Chains A and B, each alone.
Chain A
Amino acid sequence: MKSRKLKLLALILSLMMIFSILSACTTGKTDDEADLTKKTEATGDTSEDALSNMTGRGVLPIVESPVTLTIGHSRLPTITDWDDNHFTHWLEEKTGLNFEFELWSSAEVVQKIQLLIASDSVLPDIIFNSLNKKDVDTYGMDGYFLPVDDYIEKYGYHLEIEAAKVGDAYDILTGGGSFYQWLLDISKAPDGKSYVYGHLHQDPTTSYARQWYINQKWLDTLGLDKPKTTDEFYNVLKAFKNNDPNQNGKPDEIPLVGSPTGWYTQVEIAVLSAFTYIPFPVRSMILNEKDEVDAFFIKEEYKEGLRYLNTLCKEDLLSPLSFTQDNAQLKAMLDIPAEQDTLVGVFGGHPTVVLTAGNEKIMEYEALPPLTGPDGVCWSQYVVPVPRFDTFITKYCKTPEIAFRFLDFLKSEEASMTGRFGREGTDWWYVEDGNSLIKDLGFEGFYDIKLGALTNTNIVWGNQNGVFLPSRIMGGRVSGVDENEAVQHATNIHYGGFLTRYGKTPKIATSLDLRLTFEESDEIKEIEATINSYVEEARSRFIVGELDLDRDWDKYLKDLQSMGLERYLQIYQDCYSRTK
């Protein structure tokens, strides 16, 4: 009896072993097979039949008899039913297409796609919002995603029209050239083909989001003017510190404060911009007189800016908390009940992020325009927008032309507005002769939205799926008047401040133009990560006086050299010469 059981056990164990070995073999085999199929499978164009079903360029509906496209997307909490979704119905009606959805958990959508590709499973026709550009390009060059260049030439329509309407809002990126062409250029993978059809979603104010606000009430109490230069700024802060502007008899004023981790709350950057230009994100580079890529953090002007900040810090004008506290603590300082004494003179950050919308304390503050430094420098950091390159057509799509026509239609104004705001007439509507909040930049206000419309579920597909929302549209909402005075004031100073910063940027090489090859990016990643974190760390330490500008500056430069600064600049210079 016992021996039989033992045999059974042995049998089970040996079977398990055999299976594990077998499965190991099969995985090895599928890899080879995958390679084979990849080579033999031509990236199929749509059959003649399907092509004749398609209407002409820019015409709606896109197809005469219904065609089904499968769409891969991450699950979103706001969408309960993708099939019975307003945007789905609207698109189906407009284009004549049918959509089927394959939904993945949003936390693991990237791994999911990578697994599907690795196991050679069939992917949906179009995938939205997932991989980053480098991954898309890599898979594209491996043949998993289709290049769209030919389709752009043959069928592209809406993006070109919409791109022509953006005016000069993106001249700083395009160097004054065609925005459409620029967008197509930066979509290209290292092999010169585009596997994505780039799109953009940008609120105009985020391009100059490095904002700060000054306590106008304190200025009035002390009889001072808004500071225009760094010298005046110093005097104002000094007065804030010493002359008890909140009139409570206690030396509890904090003249200047920010936070290192909040949303554009880093006040030191705003001050430094009066000395030298600080690019953002850090991958963007400044250019020197010879039109060569340069690093701002080794310049004498930068050092002088740090010296100025160090003075502010030494005299307790700039709170050292600006380098340690998080956004919640900055908010705790500012977002206080009206009856408490105001503590802060100048703060960095968005007025409704560091204060709760509607808090009356905001009424004391006004926007502070960028300061002019001792050498007449007066820049404001331009935040390079990030076009989204995350929508692509996979090689399993039987009708790539139709899929492309669909992606192109998403870029049209009507599809973009419907995709972003919801139902026309209910959630948003066109307005004639409206004033937009950025009318000074030449953009008309042409629509208004119902407040809270975006919290409605099942109306859109998330808020930025392949649609094209440049500053013309995002800033084109007509300015209304909010019933709450404090909310209205916050909006006013936010846009007012934005207009004082707008355009104060030198010619730079943006992170979008500096497109590294894969080899370059492999080489640079360790150097870049080390340098960037070191520069940021040293900046804080120089300002609070942990490092001495006279004693430690040379060591700082030497450290940067030993981290490979020269090679770092060389790589970016090569890159810049190539794309210029």
Chain B
Amino acid sequence: MDMKKKYRAEKRMKFLVSVKNRWQLFLFLLIPVAYILIFNYYPMFGVQIAFKDFSSSKGIWGSPWVGLKHFKVFFKSFQFTRVLRNTVMISLYSLASGFPLAIIFALLINSVRSLKYKKLVQTVTYLPHFISTVVIVGMLIQVLNPVNGLYGSVYSLLNQGNLPKDILGKPSAFIHLYVWSGTWQGLGWSTIIYIAVLSSVDPQLHESAQIDGANRFQRVIHIDFPVLIPTASIMLILNSGRIMSVGFEKVYLMQNNLNLIYSEVLSTYIYKVGMTAGERNFSYSSAIGLFNSIINCILLVLVNGISGRLKSDGTSLW
């Protein structure tokens, strides 16, 4: 016991000495810490309105506590299952399409021999990332318009002037349009990190594999791919922390009354009840938002734990 105490005191002493020796660095640290405290921790005080009946005239502190009332209303509400199902579906689908494709695409780009061609492909695939969501959805709607869009014009040209069916009005088409347009937009961007990792592969490995008679495909599978796995699992962990937070703008912009059954997600529902309904209901919105964050947090911890346990040298965030 005594030893332990002594050890701790020694450790603290060491820490203080290191602070003293490198106090300039700690001073620098103050700035990001202050930033995080002010912009990330301080606003969390507002979360309490999820447990209150917030009224703007009474303010955050003055509003009366109501416990879990808003959570109960949400769990019992008609929209609960639908919103939850859609959110999870869209996220998982996006993850399932975007995540493996990014890795495959990075491996493909890495195997291209011509440097010029490689750079060109990279630049072209990065570009959509910089187009704003509003514009992307605008393009999507314009192109798919059955009367005056590209899709409609081509279809009616090939079918003696007959107009096609409206794809955007087809509820089941929503999720595919959403996910694949997102994948198209983000694919190039998400390969950046993998390409960076691939560039660190020791060329000697490739050379010796070539001497041993491995073809290009075998080299990709046995040399490049294993190098990517730690990065890929970190990316997977980070992405799973976002499973419940489907981007708001794009879903909202693509919504219409017909596809609402598949397109209402947590963030759009929060916006609708919180901001646009006749009676704005901030407390209810906050409660749903808090619920969302908690699930995200749990998922993150869960996937991180699994990933850390799968292999002895498994990757983990902390």
Question: Which residues in A have some Cβ–Cβ distance to B below 8 Å?
Answer: 2-3, 5-6, 9, 31, 114, 117-118, 134-135, 138-139, 142, 249-252, 254, 260, 283, 319-321, 323-326, 329, 332-333, 343, 521-522, 524-526, 528-530, 533-534, 536-537, 539-541, 544, 546, 559, 562-563
Contact = CB atoms under 8 A, between A and B. Distances in A.
B166 A114 contact: no
A528 B78 contact: no
A134 to B, nearest CB: 8
A540 B256 CA distance: 9
Contact of B279 (A250, A321, A525, A544): A525
Contacts of A329: 141-142, 145, 147-148
A324 B169 CA distance: 6
A323 B257 contact: yes
B257 A325 contact: no
A575 to B, nearest CB: 14
A546 B279 contact: no
Contacts of B204: none
Interface stretch (B94-102, B235-243, B270-278, B300-308): B270-278
Contacts of B53: 522
B55 interface: yes
Contact of A562 (B78, B146, B163, B277): B78
A282 to B, nearest CB: 8
Interface in B74-124: 77-79
B166 A324 contact: yes
Contacts of A321: 145-147, 166, 169
Interface size range of chain B in the complex = 35 or more
Given A324-B166, A324-B168, A525-B279, A254 B258 contact: no
A6 B278 contact: no
B33 to A, nearest CB: 12
A3 B23 CA distance: 11
Contacts of A524: 279
17 contacts: A6-B23, A31-B62, A118-B59, A249-B161, A252-B161, A252-B163, A254-B163, A260-B257, A319-B166, A320-B169, A323-B256, A325-B141, A333-B148, A526-B281, A526-B284, A529-B277, A529-B281
Contacts of B257: 260, 323, 536-537, 539-541
A142 B161 CA distance: 66
A329 B166 CA distance: 13
Contact of B258 (A31, A323, A534, A562): A323
B156 interface: yes
Contacts of A541: 257-258, 261
Interface in B156-206: 156, 160-163, 165-166, 168-169, 171
Nearest to B24: A5
A537 B260 CA distance: 7
Contacts of A134: 279
B40 interface: no
Given A251-B161, A283-B278, A526-B281, A142 B78 contact: no
A329 B281 CA distance: 33
A182 B1 CA distance: 83
B272 A324 contact: no
A212 to B, nearest CB: 18
B269 to A, nearest CB: 9
B154 interface: no
Interface of B: 20, 23, 27, 53, 55-57, 59, 61-62, 73, 77-79, 141-142, 145-148, 156, 160-163, 165-166, 168-169, 171, 256-258, 260-261, 272-273, 277-279, 281, 284
B20 A343 contact: no
Contact of B277 (A323, A528, A559): A528
B147 A260 contact: no
A526 B256 contact: no
Contact of B23 (A5, A114, A333, A562): A5
A563 B79 CA distance: 10
A134 B281 CA distance: 13
Given A323-B257, A333-B148, A544-B169, A138 B57 contact: yes
A537 B261 contact: yes
B88 to A, nearest CB: 21
Nearest to A518: B55
Contacts, number: 118
A267 to B, nearest CB: 14
Nearest to A525: B279
B147 A254 contact: yes
A268 B300 CA distance: 46
A114 B289 CA distance: 24
Name which of B145, B148, B169, B171 has the most chain A CB atoms within 10 A of its CB: B169
A114 B55 CA distance: 11
A117 B147 contact: no
Nearest to A531: B78
Contacts of B258: 320, 323-324, 540-541, 544, 546
Contact of B20 (A2, A31, A332): A2
Nearest to A252: B161
Given A31-B61, A321-B147, A329-B145, 12 more contacts: A6-B20, A138-B56, A283-B278, A323-B257, A324-B166, A325-B168, A329-B142, A333-B147, A525-B278, A533-B260, A541-B258, A559-B78
Contact of B147 (A9, A114, A343): A343
A541 B260 CA distance: 10
Contacts of A343: 147
A530 B148 contact: no
Nearest to B259: A324
B17 to A, nearest CB: 11
A268 B79 CA distance: 25
A317 to B, nearest CB: 13
Given A135-B56, A525-B277, A526-B77, A324 B162 contact: no
B141 A530 contact: no
Contacts of B147: 254, 321, 329, 332-333, 343
A117 B56 CA distance: 11
Nearest to A2: B20
A31 B261 CA distance: 46
B169 A528 contact: no
Given A118-B59, A559-B78, A528 B256 contact: no
Nearest to B276: A529
B27 A529 contact: no
Contacts of A138: 55-57
B80 to A, nearest CB: 11
B277 A251 contact: no
Given A6-B20, A9-B23, A539-B257, A135 B57 contact: yes
Nearest to B56: A114
A9 B23 CA distance: 9
Nearest to B254: A324
Contacts of B73: 526
A529 B160 CA distance: 45
Contacts of B165: 320
B145 A325 contact: yes
Nearest to A534: B78
A121 to B, nearest CB: 14
